[in-house]
Structure 1
C-alpha cells in the first residue's frame, strides 16, 4: 500500500509539473507574439494601446522610456494593491505573464518595422496581438495591469469588470488623442477591436458548431434520421407548450456547420410543421467533436 501511495504521489507531481510547464511555455509563446506586434507594428507607426501597455507606450512616445521597463514598473504597484484583493492563482499567473512580457519586449526591441502603412499595421497588429493574448489566456496567463484594478473597483462599485476596463481604455485613448493626434486614438480603437475578436477566436476555436432544437410531433423519426444520416448523437426530452398546455417532444442535437442543410432537410421531410431553433456553439467538447486534450 505504501509503495502504491508513493507511486501515486510521484505521478501527480509529474503531472502537475508538466501541466505548469505547458502553461509557462504557452505564456512565453503568447508574450513573444504580442511583443513582436508592439515593437514591429504598433510603436513604429505611433498607434496607441489599451491598459498598462498603452500607458507604457505613451510614456515611450513622450520620454523615450523603454516600453519593457515601463510595463514592469507600472505593474509593480498594482501587484502590491492586488496582493490581498484578488485570488492567489490569478496574481501568480499575472506576475509570470508581466515578467515574461517585459522580457520579450526587451528582446524584440530592435526588430525592424514590418510596414509603415498605419492602417495595415493596425490590422496586422490587432491580429498578432489577439493571437498572442489568446494563447496567454488559454495558458491561464494574464498581463495583470488594469485587470487587477478592474477586479478591485468591481468589488467596491456597481460597475462590472468589463465596464471598468472599457472606461480605463477610453481614458488612455483620450489622453493619446489630446497629447498627440486624434488619429492615434482612432487607429487604437480599430486595433483593440480586432485584437479582442481574434482573442475570442483563439479561445473558442475556428470551427463554430451549430446547436439545433426541434419541437416536433415526430421526435423519434427525426432522431433516427439524424443518427443514421449524420451519425450524430441526439437527445430527446419532454416539454409542455405554455399557451396550449400540450405535451411536446423536443429533439436536441449539435452538428458541424456543413451538416446544417442536411438536418433542415430531415426535419422538413419528417415534420413540416416542426418548430426549429438554430444557434451557434463556439466550442464543443465530447464524442464526435474536440476532446479535453489540450484544454
Structure 2
C-alpha cells in the first residue's frame, strides 16, 4: 500500500510494507503526525541563507513503514503504540541523512517529593519498580512515567499516570512543569517538541517532566510510605517504593528521565525558578 504524504511541496511517497495498518490509521497516529510536521518545519528552515545546509538543502524523498505495534488490539480501545520507519532524506549532491526512526510519541514523567514538616532537609521520593524487558530487567527502578496517548494536556496525562501508578490523586494545579521552566529562555533553532529527547539518534520520544512536591506531617508520611511501599498494580506489575532523595541520582545513572528530573530540579532550585513548596 502506498500514498503521498500531504503538506509537502514535492510528492513524498509513503510505502506501507506491513498489513496491519491503513493510510487513515497511520495519519491519525499522533506520533507520526508530530514527527513529520516537525521534520518538515526543520527542512523549511534551510531556506535561510545562514542555515548550514542552505547551499545544498536536504529533502524528504520517501518514507517506508517497516513495522507497527498496536495496544489493546481487537478491542474498542485499540490504538497504535509504535511505528518503525525509514525516511529517505537526501540532497541534490546525493548525500543522505540517517533516517531509521522508532516512533512512540510524547511521554510524561513525574518527580514526586515528600518533605516532613519537622525537617528542612529530609526528603523522600516516590518511585516505581517494574519489569522493563527491553532493558532485560524484571525490577527496573524509575520515577513514575507514561505515554501521552490521546490526552489533551501534558499535566492531565501526568495526573492520570500518578493515579494509576501510585494510587494518589494529584490535581493538575499542584504540578510544576520543570521542562517548561528550563526551556523558557533556551535557544530554540527549530520547532522541536517541548520535552527531553532521551535517544534522538533512533527515536522520536520526548519526555516532559513534572514536579509534585509536598510538605506533610511526619506521621502522614510514615503512613503513606508504609502503604505505598507494598502497593502493586497487577495489570502492569508495578511495585511502589519510597527512596531517600539523596539516592535519586544513583538511580538516574541508569534511567535517563530520573537523572533529567533530578538535574532539572537541582538547577531550577539554584536559579530560584521554582515556586514555593505547597503544604498538603
TM band (smaller chain): under 0.3
Task: Select the structure that is richer in helix.
Answer: 1
Structure with higher Rg: it is 1
- TM-score, scaled to structure 1: 0.23
Task: Select the structure that is richer in strand.
Answer: 2
Report 1 or 2 for greater relative contact order, CA contacts < 8 Å, sequence distance ≥ 6.
1
- TM-score, scaled to structure 2: 0.24
